[in-house]
């Protein structure tokens, strides 16, 4: 069964699936662009690597009760304020501040003659949006590109956290795609869309005067959905992470029942 949603499938935003979706989508974008830009350009998958620790870790799939006390620790007020364990006391469930190496893929369109990076394409991950080291490093890179002659495309298919800054950033939308041509800055094109909308197509900026390929991100996402067999992998009865608003949840529930992915209400 194909992707039941007209645009972004919010169940793919789950921390259990998004790292894989991110990887597959990067590959699909590359695969779709190569025939459109050769032989003048090549499209390369690049990686950045950094470490997150503690609360900034990407290990977001931990059960919620990992930081909850199973039983209060009993105290003996007559002797001291030091916690005294009893034989029935359960261990405290805690999380360790472990370091995690993060590898994020992105795309570069490179001029074959000059070896210059003409365009950078980013598909945002939680580390790019969540407050902390990952976002700080990403914003630094973003600012450097804005000060260069490199074009920039930023694809945000995650509803969680604050969007990356742009002027007029008060535009409310679930998702957005930023297309920034170096010769038009500080102007840029921002495509905003919601859960109920199809993902808009957008042109890929290249050198001035070149024909710009059109990226049909909706078709690419739907191909990822089909190839990875998410129709049998996703649990549409599970709670969404992040959760939907009440009105969006009602809409999604109706859609999933109409497509028989949820049982009809009796």
Residue 222 lies in a domain: yes
Q: Is pLDDT at 184 greater than 70 in this prediction?
A: yes
Q: Is pLDDT at 153 greater than 70 in this prediction?
A: yes
Q: In angstroms, rounded to a whole number, what is the distance separating the alpha carbons of residues 121 and 25?
A: 12
Residue showing tokens 């695969």: 31
Amino acid 52: pLDDT: 57
Residue 2 lies in a domain: no
Q: Is pLDDT at 73 greater than 50 in this prediction?
A: no
Give me the chain's average pLDDT, please.
Answer: 85
Higher-pLDDT residue of 42, 81: 42
Task: Work out the pLDDT band at 71, boundaries 50, 70, 90.
Answer: very low
Q: With helix as H, strand as E and coil as C, how does 111-163 read?
A: ECCCCCEEEEEEECCHHHHCCCHHHHHHHHHHHHHHCCCCEEEEEECCCCCCC
Amino acid 134: pLDDT: 86
CB 95 within 8 A of CB 62: yes
DSSP 8-state code for residue 176: E
The dihedrals phi and psi of 130, each to the nearest 5 degrees, come to -70, 140
pLDDT digits over 98-151, tens only? 556 666 789 999 999 999 999 999 999 998 999 988 899 999 999 999 999 999
Residue 90 lies in a domain: no
Residue 88 lies in a domain: no
**CA dihedral in degrees (15, 19, 24, 25; nearest 10)?**
70
Contacts of 244 (CB under 8 A, 6+ apart): 10, 195, 252
Residues of the domain holding 51: 10-63+101-258
Read off the tokens for 37.
């830009």
Domain count, the chain: 1
In angstroms, the Cα distances linking 207 to 45, 185, 218, 240 are: 19, 15, 25, 41
Report field, pTM of the whole predicted structure over 0.75: yes
Higher-pLDDT residue of 1, 213: 213
Choose among 153, 73, 156: nearest CA to 119: 153
Residue 201 lies in a domain: yes
Residue 41 lies in a domain: yes
Amino acid 168: pLDDT: 73
Q: Is pLDDT at 172 greater than 70 in this prediction?
A: yes
DSSP 8-state code for residue 56: G
Task: Work out the pLDDT band at 60, boundaries 50, 70, 90.
Answer: very low
Q: Is pLDDT at 217 greater than 90 in this prediction?
A: yes
CB 127 within 8 A of CB 52: yes
How many Cα atoms within 13 Å fall on the side-chain side of residue 63? 5
Residue 74 lies in a domain: no
End-to-end CA distance of the chain: 24
Amino acid 14: pLDDT: 94
Contacts of 209 (CB under 8 A, 6+ apart): none
Q: In angstroms, rounded to a whole number, what is the distance separating the alpha carbons of residues 71 and 89?
A: 6
Residue 85 lies in a domain: no
Q: Residue range 71-90: average pLDDT?
A: 52
Q: In angstroms, rounded to a whole number, what is the distance separating the alpha carbons of residues 213 and 35?
A: 10
Amino acid 63: pLDDT: 33
């Amino acid at each position: 069964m194909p992707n039941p949603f007209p645009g972004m499938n919010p169940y793919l935003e789950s921390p259990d699936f998004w790292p894989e979706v991110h990887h597959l989508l990067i590959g699909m974008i590359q695969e779709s662009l190569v025939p459109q830009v050769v032989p003048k350009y090549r499209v390369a998958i690049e990686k950045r690597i950094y470490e997150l620790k503690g609360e900034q870790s990407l290990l977001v799939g931990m059960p919620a009760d990992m930081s909850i006390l199973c039983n209060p620790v009993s105290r003996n007020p007559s002797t001291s304020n030091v916690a005294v364990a009893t034989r029935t006391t359960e261990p405290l469930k805690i999380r360790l501040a472990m370091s995690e190496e993060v590898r994020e893929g992105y795309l570069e369109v490179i001029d074959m003659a000059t070896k210059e990076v003409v365009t950078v394409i980013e598909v945002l991950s939680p580390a790019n949006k969540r407050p902390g080291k990952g976002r700080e490093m990403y914003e630094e890179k973003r600012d450097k590109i804005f000060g260069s002659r490199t074009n920039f495309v930023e694809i945000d298919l995650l509803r969680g956290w604050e969007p990356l800054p742009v002027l007029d950033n008060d535009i409310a939308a679930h998702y957005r795609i930023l297309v920034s041509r170096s010769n038009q800055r500080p102007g840029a094109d921002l495509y905003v869309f919601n859960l109920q909308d199809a993902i808009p197509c957008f042109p890929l900026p290249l050198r001035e005067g070149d024909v710009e390929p059109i990226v049909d991100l909706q078709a690419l996402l739907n191909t990822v959905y089909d190839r990875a067999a998410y129709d049998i992998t996703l649990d549409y009865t599970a709670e969404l992470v992040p959760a939907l608003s009440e009105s969006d949840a009602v809409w999604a529930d109706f859609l999933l029942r109409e497509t028989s992915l949820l049982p009809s209400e009796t």
